[in-house]
């Protein structure tokens, strides 16, 4: 499929945008008029630059306030169109986008709109150009694709067709199923955009908050499916107005953009495929859709790896032993130590001249890699690289296992550990284990990794949502905004279906919060806390306090307020208060949790106990933790 992107979607000069788009593997661009107006060069020069970069100029846009106008304004608009046609011929752009009228001078007369668009198409035909008519969600008289299609049908000109934009349809909650009945050859162009669900003016929503498919909450896959069912064969393009994207380095944005289209195609292909037990043939599609290896079947975190040097490795190791971990092995060929408690494996890597050491030198003591258990690691890496991620190959010594890995956004690694190795196979191969390494030493009763929380720069959140969705097959949950004493924190969980892999993505909307200050040291994309699950949090807390572990203190006022919000047994409330444990309740179950004080680099741990079907992360308690940390 021919993949395109509007130049308005990226930051930089027009030439820089084209270079980023080409590097990301796109086939063409939609040229946004303002980008050309501010370009220091002619249309012919732009055509040459694009051609040299392997890009076609698929669309010139937008042509505004044309149809349904009084005669005098209509005639002036035709002259305006002729000048645009001159440019399009010179730059080799075959199609003009004409968006529905927003002018107060326009009249609500579909027949007049059709006649005027027919005349515009006739002028375009003389130059072998085409015109696409698009319904803006805020169009004065035409805001729905069905209205635009009726006008195009009435105009009845071969050089006039429909342009569809997922944002305009889905933001108005218009029914997209009717698209499948439109003849595919009359859909001249397709623009895709996702967005978070917001309650605001649709024009402001459109101009500032669009996102790439897979980053928002719209059913963009369903929309795309209907366009394919219509028999559409034209470009698949992105038109994204987003304030953050206008600031973000355009090479990174372009990679996200390509990943979003590949994800969209692969998901639509799955929807159009027949069920495994069905006899019906697959839904015929007139274009070839991207078909990567399937989403990896993840079954939990195998390990978390920390970057350190010799000194910090000792400090971190002492802390881990304080919270109940036991040193159970050392690496066969590297300065790497394995700590274990329950099913949790934590690796401290102080090997000089290694990837971990480079991360330590950049960010201090920090998490540098996650190991996820996976049924088919090779297919997982192949999917990741197909979805624009970079493969990473670590050096291995004799008899050590090569575990496939990829580079996650921000530079850390994700290793895909074969499920076939079982719980201990990797460590038996790569480490010299203590004789009783497999024995349960009891520790502090911490059994599993519940979730890993990342602190991200504001412009990384959408990148991570798309990455975890498209590459790892994790689905995002609700987006929340939490109050830090010095600003707001936006928080969003992502998880696989059985919840064996959970990540929590956090961004600070202020530069003064603790999260923001930590990011200034780590460079963003860093794990800022690790939640460890236990079966009896009160017993675990008691053991850890006895070992000298310090927890973030919680105000007595929190527990007074808790008693007014949740119907709790007084004895349980007293235990929570005495232990300093926080509490959250959902209709499905309860969540009890507590946070350690920070160790090096701002990293801290959370102890968590889930009951019944509780499926969140205690986010409503985060302000109590952040306020307490600010007061210390």
Chain segment 475-501, per-residue pLDDT in tens: 999 888 877 777 788 899 999 999 999
Mean pLDDT on 176-186: 97
pLDDT at 535 over 80: yes
Given a cut of 50, whether residue 455 has pLDDT beyond it is: yes
Q: What is the mean pLDDT of residues 12-19?
A: 97
Q: Mapping DSSP to helix (H, G, I), strand (E, B) and coil, where does residue 237 land? A: strand
The pLDDT of residue 183: 97
pLDDT surpasses 70 at 441: no
Provide the phi-psi class of 630: left if phi over 0, else alpha when psi is between -120 and 50, else beta. alpha
Average pLDDT of the residues of the chain: 93
pLDDT band at residue 628 using 50, 70 and 90 as cut-offs: confident
Mean pLDDT of 36-56: 97
User: Environment class of residue 523 by beta-carbon count within 10 Å: exposed (0-12), middle (13-18) or buried (19+)?
Assistant: middle
User: Residues at the annotated binding site?
Assistant: 134, 165, 191, 239, 451, 529, 606
pLDDT of 282 above 80: no
Residue 548, Ramachandran bin (φ over 0: left; ψ between -120 and 50: alpha; else beta): left
The rounded distance, in Å, linking the Cα atoms of 331 and 548 is: 29
What tens digit of pLDDT does each residue of 311-325 get?
Answer: 999 999 999 999 999
Between the CA of residue 502 and those of 272, 298, 323, 475, 497, what are the distances in Å?
A: 29, 11, 22, 10, 10
Average pLDDT rounded to a whole number, residues 379-387 = 98
Query: Which residues, other chains included, contact 612 with Cβ-Cβ below 8 Å and sequence gap of 6+?
Result: 588, 589, 590
Q: Does position 69 have pLDDT exceeding 90, yes or no?
A: yes
Say whether 173 sits in a helix, a strand or coil: coil
* Residue 72: predicted pLDDT: 97
pLDDT in tens, 219-272: 999 999 999 999 999 999 999 999 989 889 999 999 999 999 999 999 999 999
Question: Average of pLDDT values for 536-561?
Answer: 96
Domains in the chain, CATH or no CATH each? 3-272 (3.20.20.150), 298-433 (3.10.180.10), 446-631 (3.10.180.10)
Tell me which of 90-104, 519-533, 579-593 is least confident. 519-533
Rounded CA gap, 550 and 291, in Å? 51
- What is residue 520's predicted lDDT score, i.e. its pLDDT? 59
pTM for this one?
0.93
The residue with greater pLDDT, 244 or 474, is: 474
Under DSSP, the state recorded for 459 is G
Average pLDDT over residues 339-350: 97
Tell me what pLDDT residue 495 has: 97
- The pLDDT assigned to 474 comes to 97
What is the percent of the chain where pLDDT is above 70?
Answer: 95
Mean pLDDT check: name the lowest of 27-41, 113-127, 175-189, 391-405: 391-405
CA–CA distance, 29 with 407 (Å, rounded to integer) = 28
- Is the pLDDT at 278 greater than 80, yes or no? no
Residue 517: predicted pLDDT: 65
Tallying the residues shown for the chain, one arrives at 632
Residue ranges of the annotated binding site for Mg(2+) are 451, 529, 606
List residues forming the annotated binding site for a divalent metal cation: 134, 165, 191, 239
Q: What is the DSSP letter of 472?
A: T
How many CB atoms are located within 10 Å of the residue 110 CB?
Answer: 17
Rounded-to-integer distance, Cα 629 and Cα 170, Å: 42
Share of the chain above pLDDT 90, in %: 84
User: In this model, does residue 276 exceed pLDDT 50?
Assistant: no
């Amino acid at each position: 499929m021919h993949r395109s992107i509007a130049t308005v979607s990226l930051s930089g000069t027009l030439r820089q945008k084209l270079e980023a788009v080409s590097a990301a593997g796109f086939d063409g661009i939609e040229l946004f008029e303002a980008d050309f107006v501010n370009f220091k060069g002619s249309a012919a020069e732009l055509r040459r630059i694009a051609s040299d970069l392997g890009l076609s100029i698929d669309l010139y846009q937008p042509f505004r306030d044309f149809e349904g106008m009084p005669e005098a304004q209509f005639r002036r608009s035709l002259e305006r169109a002729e000048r645009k046609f001159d440019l399009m011929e010179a730059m080799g752009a075959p199609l003009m986008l004409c968006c529905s009228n927003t002018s107060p001078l326009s009249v609500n007369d579909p027949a007049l709109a059709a006649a005027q668009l027919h005349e515009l198409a006739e002028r375009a035909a003389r130059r072998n150009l085409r015109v696409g008519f698009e319904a803006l969600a805020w169009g004065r008289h035409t805001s729905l694709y069905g209205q635009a299609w009726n006008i195009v049908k009435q105009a009845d000109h071969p050089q006039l067709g429909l342009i569809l934009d997922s944002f305009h349809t889905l933001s108005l909650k218009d029914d997209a199923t009717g698209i499948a009945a439109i003849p595919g050859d009359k859909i001249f162009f397709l623009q895709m955009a996702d967005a978070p669900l917001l309650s605001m003016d649709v024009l402001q929503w459109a101009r500032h908050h669009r996102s790439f498919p897979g980053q928002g909450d719209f059913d963009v896959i369903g929309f795309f499916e209907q366009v394919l069912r219509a028999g559409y064969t034209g470009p698949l393009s992105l038109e994204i107005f987003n304030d953050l994207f206008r600031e973000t380095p355009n090479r990174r944005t372009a990679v996200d953009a390509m990943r979003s289209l590949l994800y969209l195609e692969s998901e639509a292909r799955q929807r159009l495929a027949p069920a495994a037990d069905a006899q019906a043939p697959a839904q015929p599609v007139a274009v070839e859709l991207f078909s990567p290896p399937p989403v990896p079947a993840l079954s939990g975190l195998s390990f978390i790896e920390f970057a350190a040097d010799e000194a910090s490795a000792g400090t971190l190791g002492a802390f881990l032993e304080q919270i109940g971990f036991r040193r159970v092995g050392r690496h066969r060929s590297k300065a790497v130590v394995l700590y274990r408690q329950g099913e949790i494996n934590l690796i401290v890597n102080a090997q000089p001249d290694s990837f971990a050491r480079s991360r330590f030198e950049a960010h201090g003591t920090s998490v540098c890699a996650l190991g996820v258990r996976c049924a088919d690691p090779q297919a997982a890496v192949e999917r990741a690289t197909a979805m624009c991620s970079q493969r990473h190959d670590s050096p291995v010594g004799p008899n050590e296992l090569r575990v496939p890995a990829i580079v996650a956004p921000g530079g850390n690694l994700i290793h895909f550990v074969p499920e076939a190795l079982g719980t201990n196979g990797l460590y038996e191969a790569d480490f010299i284990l203590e004789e009783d390494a497999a024995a349960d030493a009891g520790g502090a009763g911490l059994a599993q990794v519940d979730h890993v929380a990342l602190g991200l720069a504001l412009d990384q959140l959408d990148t991570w949502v798309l990455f975890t969705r498209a590459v790892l097959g994790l689905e995002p949950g609700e987006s929340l905004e939490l109050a830090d004493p010095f600003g707001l924190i936006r928080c969003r969980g992502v998880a696989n279906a059985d919840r064996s892999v959970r990540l929590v993505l956090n961004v600070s909307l202020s530069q003064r919060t603790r999260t923001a200050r930590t990011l200034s040291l780590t460079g963003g994309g860093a794990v800022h806390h690790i939640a460890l699950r236990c079966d009896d949090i009160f017993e675990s807390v008691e053991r850890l306090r006895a070992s000298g572990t310090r927890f973030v203190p919680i105000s007595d006022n929190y527990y007074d307020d808790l008693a007014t919000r949740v119907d709790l047994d007084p004895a349980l409330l007293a235990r929570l208060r005495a232990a300093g444990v926080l509490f959250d309740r959902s209709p499905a179950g309860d969540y009890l949790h507590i946070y350690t004080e920070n160790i090096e680099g701002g990293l801290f741990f959370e102890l968590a106990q889930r009951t019944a079907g509780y499926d969140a992360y205690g986010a409503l308690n985060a302000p109590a933790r952040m306020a307490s940390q600010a007061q210390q």
